[in-house]
Structure 1
Amino acid sequence: MSAGTIKDFRDGCRDAIPICLGYVAVSFAFGIESSKIGMSVFEAVMTSLLNVTSAGQFSALDVIARNGSYIELIMLQIVINLRYSLMSTALSQKLDTHLGTLHRMGISYGVTDEIFGVSILKQGTLYPMYSYGLIVTSVFGWVLGTGLGATAGAIMPARIISCLGLAIYGMFVAIIIPDTRTSKAVMYVVISAMTLSTLFTYAPLVKEISSGFRIIIVTVVVAALAAIIAPVKEESHE
């Protein structure tokens, strides 16, 4: 199978422009947060370049700040990023069965929620060159925003940095609120996660559990309850 043409690469770059712009805003917040725990601009940029996962990177900051264990960090990333395995499986169905391993590995590097959404909606076969265009443009925005945020965090006064750090909370609120209005199941999941997080923060004994393991426990428990109580119904086909 052909890897695609230069035109496919250009099309990927074009389709990724909205993703790139969105990533700059979100990764700027990550850069700010990374500077608050003492990471250098280079460390923050390399973290974004090598990971490309917003939730995974943000959740890792606290573990890094308190010198948590590698085991905790690894388990945290596996739980938070497990969805990418499902996305990769779905994307593989759009690839030619004879596509080489190197191209598959290259595409897998850039499997994010947004890139997956654009890729899965593309009509016809998914060519590696198109995926590379998506990845290059999107990751550029992610790394650029991180660098700008980390640089700003290194030179701005602490008071302003604290204010800018609130951007991450606004981002997550903007993500979850629309879905809670249209789905009771999502609303219950959000409320359950908030309740458990509060419990683990203030309740005796369990509050001693590190933040990384709190996220792991809350994620697994809430996801399991949601799967049992409100499973996704399969569409019936006549």
Structure 2
Amino acid sequence: MFTNGLRRGMPIALGYFPVAFSFGVLCVNSHMPLGMATLISVTNFTSSGQFAGLNLMLAQASYFEVALTLLMINARYFLMSLSLSQKIDRHMNALERMIVSFCISDETFALASLEVKPITFKWMSGFLLGPFLGWSLGALAGELVVGLLPSAIQGAMGIALYGMFIAIIVPASKHALSVAVVVLMASLVHIILTYVPFFQFMSAGFKLISATLIASLCGAKLFPREVSDNE
């Protein structure tokens, strides 16, 4: 069962490695202490959260801004974990559930939710081990190899996060008008907060938080989700 889970998680591990590699390169190029990228990746399992947190750290944002931003970014994991808890084996104890919840991500949740049989701790341990190692080792490799890469490639790795976000929002925006409107609204609000002199008193962290909140609230108001009687 462990081996079967490990095999299922390998495609995610291979996909995580290059993104984590770029995170390691970005940390080194941002003059973070050697080993910091690996430490962050081992203790946190959130790609977008880590990149956003690093940007806020470099912008010298306050602890409160960092905590609030990451809470907003990672809030979706509460719902994912709640949904996945309906599929796990009833014999899984609290400690095992906490271990499993640490490695829940968009990709691991998507694949695990497709399982027909109840999810056991052994299966989840193997399933989540690959992505965790892929993410952690990718960050370590990025830190160690960055000095061997040409400067042009090092600079290109800095836009890996933006490429990942574009790959997420563009297909969704093409298929859903609501997503496109929310994305454009968030971009517009952030541009206003950044370039209008009146808002210069706001820090970079609160500008990001404000743009996210305003776009999300407007999206919920303009495009409410209709719930059927069976839901």
The corresponding residue for 2:38 is 45
Please give the secondary structure, in 1, of the residue aligned with 2:197.
coil
**CA-CA distance at 1:105 after TM superposition:** 0.6
1:105 is aligned to 2:98: yes
Letter in 2 for 1:18: P
The corresponding residue for 1:3 is none
Unaligned runs of 5+ in 1: 1-7
Please give the secondary structure, in 2, of the residue aligned with 1:124.
coil
1:183 is aligned to 2:157: no
Structure 1, residues 28-48: CA drift from partner, whole Å, max 9, x if none?
221122112212341101101
Checking the alignment, whether the CA contact within 8 Å between 2:92 and 2:121 is kept in structure 1 is no
Please give the secondary structure, in 1, of the residue aligned with 2:113.
helix
Q: In structure 1, which of residues 230, 233, 236 is the aligned counterpart of residue 223 of structure 2? A: 230
CA–CA distance in 2 between the matches of 1:197 and 1:223? 13
* 46 and 180 in structure 1: CA distance in 2 versus 1, 3 angstrom threshold: same
**CA-CA distance at 1:68 after TM superposition:** 2.6
Unaligned runs of 5+ in 2: none
Aligned 1:131-150 pairs, distance under 5 A: 131-150=124-143
* 215 and 66 in structure 1: CA distance in 2 versus 1, 3 angstrom threshold: closer
**CA-CA distance at 1:177 after TM superposition:** 0.8
The corresponding residue for 1:166 is 159
Please give the secondary structure, in 2, of the residue aligned with 1:205.
helix
* 140 and 186 in structure 1: CA distance in 2 versus 1, 3 angstrom threshold: same
> Stretches of 4+ moved more than 4 A in 1?
none
The corresponding residue for 1:200 is 193
1:15 is aligned to 2:3: no
The corresponding residue for 1:212 is 205
Please give the secondary structure, in 1, of the residue aligned with 2:53.
helix
Checking the alignment, whether the CA contact within 8 Å between 1:201 and 1:207 is kept in structure 2 is yes
CA–CA distance in 1 between the matches of 2:117 and 2:83? 14
Aligned pair count reads 231
Checking the alignment, whether the CA contact within 8 Å between 1:35 and 1:154 is kept in structure 2 is no
> Percent identity at matched positions?
34
Q: Considering only aligned residues, what root-mean-square deviation do their CA atoms show, in Å?
A: 1.8
Letter in 2 for 1:75: L
**CA-CA distance at 1:160 after TM superposition:** 3.5
CA–CA distance in 2 between the matches of 1:103 and 1:34? 32
The corresponding residue for 1:5 is none
The corresponding residue for 2:108 is 115
TM-score after normalising by structure 2: 0.93
TM-score after normalising by structure 1: 0.90
CA–CA distance in 2 between the matches of 1:53 and 1:29? 14
